[in-house]
Amino acid sequence: MKFAKTFKGVPDGEIYPVEYQPGDECPPELEDAARELEVLEGKADKQTKPKA
């Protein structure tokens, strides 16, 4: 997935945050956070909680 907005995150193996620009590829380890903040391109995948 690619970023639609500017996003700062710390990818695996790094100790400092990286500022990603729109169009940059989102690292898999940051996808959940980026999706939660709605900064990814395309339709947001709504995660639904399973019914108990």
Dump pLDDT digits (tens) for 7-44: 999 999 999 999 999 999 999 999 999 999 999 998 65
Supply the pLDDT for residue 6.
97
pTM (two decimals): 0.74
49 pLDDT above the threshold of 90: no
Structure tokens at 37: 């903040």
Give buried/exposed letters for 2-28 (b at 16+ CB in 10 A, else e): ebeeebebeeeeeeeeeebeeeeebbe
50 pLDDT above the threshold of 90: no
Supply the pLDDT for residue 44.
54
